[in-house]
Homo-oligomer: A and B are copies of this chain.
């Protein structure tokens, strides 16, 4: 048996399927075979979470191996998977609750030990990831894992205001979160585009402000229970005083400018903001937060607080007078005044207030938690001022960045020089799925598997940051997530088939596989989007990150640095040939389809770029100089090919450019 240090982590084939990577792994000899004799024993005080988890675990193991494992059995088999836990944990899952576990797998038995059910849940997921087909059948390698999270707050934000997501979608995402050990669903429940929770005190909120798309209180409870069963806290966000247009449709008296208001159909920063100068506002919020504080058991209550542009305040004379009377110099001071009042209300109802980094202001008590979206420095500032904070900057899944980029951003920051005490106040972070450009069909593809890179960043040791290794494990995880019920793979296929209208979809697949949506906020800058805009174009279907292009890039880099693997050259040639010939099949079909017409130039370019790549390869392999004119032409062409088309990028261009650049001109 040998102990894996971090340096040797990445060589052990047995653990190549774990994500997030555990803190400590000792590999042993042999493997534990999963067969009909598999039997779980629960050795702790009765706990419904563990009971449910064990049932789901057994069903998942049966599904993923094809081995029948009925929940109960009259066959007398001794248990060989023994789960022990010490206490039943908190009635309401708490931030910082012990989530550690120890998983010992031998050739004959598995022991999963944990202080609380949370550790049991995590250990079960780790075991599921270890089971693979082996020469002896489905088995998990002998191993001892000691594991616990680096950060206590590991969240996924889902915005259900800009595009509503029904209960079954949220449940699906919770299943995915459980698989990668996320422990907080940050539920962004209200915004300018819709208010998504039934309020019994203020029913006009769901009646007038939701387009009929909201969760009943029963559904909220159902989701909270579902999440709790998976070790996940549900932290609600009601964004205020800005991002509140939808509230004002129902209750215009809350606004800083007279109504009437309509539910917003567009995106971006809105002017609408609550009136922080009227007592009525606080009376309303007191009642509303009281109701929501009872509905959502979690200790934290997110009040948003971002992106208040102050325009409504500036143009309201009463508000201006109030500011002068109270010595509030600017909108920022006024918002701090609002936040202070709000914090008292939140606290009165037994909760700890949380908000985006704009809320940071010396007037607020130190118990407030700051969520940084504008930069790593904002987080450092907050914790240096004595607040607790968490990172979301760098973890915005809607910006279509590669998993590697999210992966390498650390909550402690690259440059931040935090003391141990300050580091203690960094609670973790959250991946964020903002919903301007997603719907129920492509949400899974937008979140998964990339979110798992953030999950690993927040769970595993800071030193775990080998990108290639991460991608290898992410690919395996992606498949496991489909087994868990997520639809990120299948929905991609379905969306391409829908675009293609049912006929041969393969050539469209070849094109789509090398494309990525434009990055950052380039899409809303290219085209006007509203909530009613159909999201059924190629850009809505293609994956945020092209695996084909990434792998091609790796091969080209190895080729150019003379460190090729055996099949690199042949695969490069094969890919380029496929891309060269694809437009011949695909081109005509694109023209007859209104949703695909815009992709025709992309298909042509793919062919042109591939021809350039093949030619460059030919020159390089022959070791001869190339005509300078040809070389310049190709570089010009590749420069053009890098430009977005139909809000899409051709991701093989940079690699082909490297090939051309590597040639030597005559």
Contact = CB atoms under 8 A, between A and B. Distances in A.
A482 B498 CA distance: 12
B68 A532 contact: yes
A202 interface: no
A502 B593 contact: no
A439 B68 contact: yes
A83 interface: no
Contact of A213 (B71, B212, B498): B71
Contacts of A66: 439, 441, 495, 498, 534-536, 540
Contact of A593 (B65, B135, B592): B135
B135 A71 contact: no
The binding surface of chain A is classed by DSSP as loop
Instruction: Give the one of A59, A494, A540 with max B CB within 10 A.
Output: A494
Given A135-B594, A595-B133, A536 B65 contact: yes
A67 B490 contact: no
Contact of A212 (B65, B70, B136, B163): B70
Interface in A296-317: none
Contacts of A213: 70-71
B133 A499 contact: yes
A220 to B, nearest CB: 18
Given A211-B71, A440-B63, A502 B476 contact: yes
A132 interface: yes
A166 to B, nearest CB: 8
A511 to B, nearest CB: 17
A125 interface: no
A262 interface: yes
7 contacts: A67-B534, A68-B531, A70-B212, A73-B211, A74-B262, A74-B263, A133-B595
Interface of A: 17, 35-36, 59, 62-68, 70-74, 132-138, 163-164, 166, 208, 211-213, 262-263, 439-441, 475-476, 479, 482-483, 489-490, 493-495, 497-499, 501-502, 531-536, 540, 592-595
> 5 closest pairs, A vs B, by CB?
A66-B536, A72-B212, A70-B211, A71-B212, A67-B534
